[in-house]
Copies of this chain bind each other. A is one copy, B any other.
Amino acid sequence: MAKREELAAAIRRCSLAVEKRIAEILPKQADDALSECLWYHLGAGGKMIRPALCVLTCEALGGEMESALDFAAAVELLHNALLVHDDIEDGDEMRRDQPALWVKYGIAHALNTGDYLLGAAYGAVLGTRGSAELKGKLITAFNDAFMRTVEGQALDIRFRADPAFTLEKYQRMVELKTGYYLAVGMVGGAMIAGASDEAIGRLWRFGTYAGPAFQVRDDVLDLTPGKGRGGKIGSDIEEGKASILYAHALTTASPDDRRRLVHIMSLPRKSTAPEDLRWVMALYQKCGTPDFARRYSQERLALAKAEIRALPLAKDELLTALTDYVIERRT
């Protein structure tokens, strides 16, 4: 098992290289509204876990960091495009401890900047050095991941406060919304390293296990002051978010409790009273919902780990260490 410091050094090495590549792809321009918007958002940083997963997967399967940098940059740019658009869609006003792009520059500039980040992401994929066949595989995987993520987002919006929401619907939504997008950087890194179709299949499956597991952990964290929203509890309930908690309680509570739950979830964000929040949290406890969600998350993380353990790793155990680290924390 690689030491924690070795892993931290590897993440730093990837971050610096990918940040440099992104700065080459999107050079800062003076007196340019688009560049100002791009760097307002990008300059606030990010954990750079996805590009690190891309580079370390490539290296662990026998490739070189340099050859994976364009794809790693593409994945980070896609991540940022989705954040910029999602913040508009969800009405989230803060991002990375500063006002979200749409709050600072208006919806028009923010939406358009998200589009540009998307274009830049596709451009970065196409910038990968290699055969036309490799590029074709990379761009197809990238586009598939983008479309599935957007499909999942459509379900997420659709299922808000939906009285007919179920665990099956949650599962479909969360796999689409989080799974492919988590996996695609690793899949691209593996393709660049010349990995087998079997290894690539395992990485896609890693994403569809781990992505939902993280999302569920996030859903549960909303019941505690630990979600980085300034100690706020129950934001997801105020938003009527289609969380695993809502899905589980809706399918286990009594008809009367279900009706009241749906009513509270469908209230506009600012009309949800503190006693409504308390009632929903008590209902979740009564239904055993947080325990159910924790078990669901743990089961999926074990499956995700197993996929990484089964990879034919060539170089070292940094990838295993990174996925373990990611699994312990959150992307």
Which A residues are within 8 Å of any B CB, using their own CB?
A: 33-34, 37, 85, 88-90, 107-109, 111-113, 115-116, 118-120, 122-123, 126, 131-133, 135-136, 139-140, 143-144, 146-147, 150-151, 153-155, 157-158
A153:B89 contact, CB within 8 angstroms: no
* A82 to chain B: closest residue by CB: B115
Given A85-B112, A112-B89, A133-B132, the answer on whether A123 and B151 have CB atoms closer than 8 Å is: no
Chain B residues with CB below 8 A from A120, complex form: 147
Q: List 29 A-B contacts (CB under 8 A).
A: A33-B155, A33-B158, A34-B150, A34-B151, A88-B107, A88-B108, A89-B108, A89-B111, A89-B112, A90-B108, A107-B107, A108-B157, A109-B154, A111-B111, A112-B150, A113-B154, A115-B118, A115-B146, A115-B150, A119-B143, A119-B146, A119-B150, A122-B143, A123-B144, A126-B139, A126-B140, A126-B143, A132-B132, A132-B136
A112:B153 contact, CB within 8 angstroms: yes
Distance in angstroms from A162 CB to nearest chain B CB is 10
B123:A147 contact, CB within 8 angstroms: yes
Distance in angstroms from A18 CB to nearest chain B CB is 20
Chain B residues with CB below 8 A from A151, complex form: 34, 116
Chain B residues with CB below 8 A from A89, complex form: 107-108, 111-112
* A143 to chain B: closest residue by CB: B122
Distance in angstroms from A149 CB to nearest chain B CB is 9
A132 to B37, CA, bound (A): 35
Chain B residues with CB below 8 A from A131, complex form: 132
Chain B residues with CB below 8 A from A88, complex form: 107-108, 111
A109:B33 contact, CB within 8 angstroms: no
Distance in angstroms from A99 CB to nearest chain B CB is 18
Distance in angstroms from A101 CB to nearest chain B CB is 13
* A158 to chain B: closest residue by CB: B33
A109 to B111, CA, bound (A): 13
Chain B residues with CB below 8 A from A147, complex form: 116, 119-120, 123
